[in-house]
Amino acid sequence: MTADPSLLPLGELTEALATRAVSAVEVLEACLTRIRAHDPAVHAFLRLTEERARKTAQESDARRAQGQARSPLDGVPLALKDIFCERGVETSCASKILMGYVPPYDATVVERLHAAGAVLVGKLNMDEFAMGSSTENSAFGPTRNPWDLSRTPGGSSGGSAAAVSARFVPGALGTDTGGSIRQPAALTGCVGLKPTYGRVSRYGVVAFASSLDQVGPFAQDVKGCAHLLSAIAGRDERDQTSSARAVPDYAKALGRGVSGLRIGIPPEFFGEGLEAEVEASVRACIAELQKQGAQIVPVSLPHAPFAIATYYVVATAEASSNLARFDGVRFGLRAQGAGSLGELYGRSRDQGFGAEVKRRIMLGTYALSSGYYDAYYLRAQKVRALIQRDFARAFAEVDCILTPTTPTTAFKLGEKSDNPLAMYLDDVYTVPVNLAGLPAMSLPCGLSKEGLPIGVQLIGKSFDEETLFAAAFAYERATTHHTRAPALG
């Protein structure tokens, strides 16, 4: 075992804790030491909850000493994107308008991690209200990619991806509305999963676009993601969009292999804009899975090219509605000197929201306004139905679909800040999945000549995360991409 337990992938760490080869306190202190040494440069964390974490780790060690571990995650240090309500811990969504807001309750996924015995270390940076693909929209400054500090880790869950990639924590939670787990996972070389819509409760998660948002895990390895999803998935009476389907033990699916598995390859995801190095790594992944017995089947998703335009109507419309609650009255920032209620609303929102959030609120309000609803929002919903139909037809022929996660490797910080459309296109391969409500995973499949991570995306049938875990684990066992780490020193 490594001398530094913070470097253990989550899947291996659960085994080390189970055999008591290492203690929860030792792992936590190793993680905190690494955070103190390297996070000032990376800026993955917005705040740490060290004393609370130490107490939880001590309690975990006491349970394990008595043979009463609650779950494989008992004693594992984890961190949360700052979009999850956590009792007694400031939750800002990386926005000025929520600075100082301390929730009086836990999100359901936070409750479930506590119940599993996990050690929650702190809250992670993100694009403000999850709106962005680079974590540059945070009101508290950008997170940097641990592989190259001049580059973005992706977004909006950039802090979660960077924290796992840098080995600050073995696992983290993020949210994915249009690719916000999978895109940063690809750009930082870790595993990220967006579950089926409804697989995980959204209660206590600050809403961006309610029909698209989904909570999911990050880890250094596929097994770690499986443990995390098993812990947080399942029905929640406080979220009526959550599914009542039974939650399988996802770790049991890992050894199934891919022999006979039908994997669909859509040509629409291999066209203009895809970097040659990214395509080569993804093609190599396809060849490896075929070597292991998978059947490669061409499939078509003809309406996928319209997904970005569709998404930025649907998502902004829902954002306009959801963010109306932040008005300077009930919680968060309240502007001073307003002479009327309307002026208070206007000043508080103007001072509290950043430029990208304002842009999306205005776009969404316009799309929902009188005279434009049919032309934009209603039409977008019709195209969304066509995208869902494309996937249904494809899955009549195959068990899962494989694509690149992103068209490029991590771009430079500031490179796309003045061009929102270029930034939006970075999610071109991930957005269709959210519109269809399907599960999808990104996992490492190579490095570019510049030493930057490349990710491959596996898309599954509704509520068939098990197939994704089986295929991803088969590929992971045959390669070493997931073992590579950034050289932070």
Known catalytic residues are 81, 156, 180
Contact in structure between 192 and 153 (CB atoms under 8 Å): no
Termini Cα distance of the chain: 19
* Contacts with 336 (C-beta within 8 Å, 6 or more apart), sequence order: none
Q: From 468, 57, 483, 45, select the one nearest 225 (Cα to Cα).
A: 468
User: What strand order describes the sheet that includes 45-48?
Assistant: 45-48, 119-124, 77-81, 171-175, 215-219, 191-194, 440-447, 453-460, 400-404, 262-265, 295-298
- The residue with tokens 């929640």 is 236
Q: How far apart are CA 170 and CA 321, in angstroms?
A: 35
Q: How far apart are CA 172 and CA 225, in angstroms?
A: 9
Q: How far apart are CA 241 and CA 19, in angstroms?
A: 39
- The residue with tokens 């419309």 is 317
**Maximum C-alpha span of the chain:** 71
Q: How far apart are CA 301 and CA 411, in angstroms?
A: 27
Contact in structure between 281 and 402 (CB atoms under 8 Å): no
- Pair of tokens at residue 211: 């029909």
Cis (ω within 30 of 0) for the bond into 156? yes
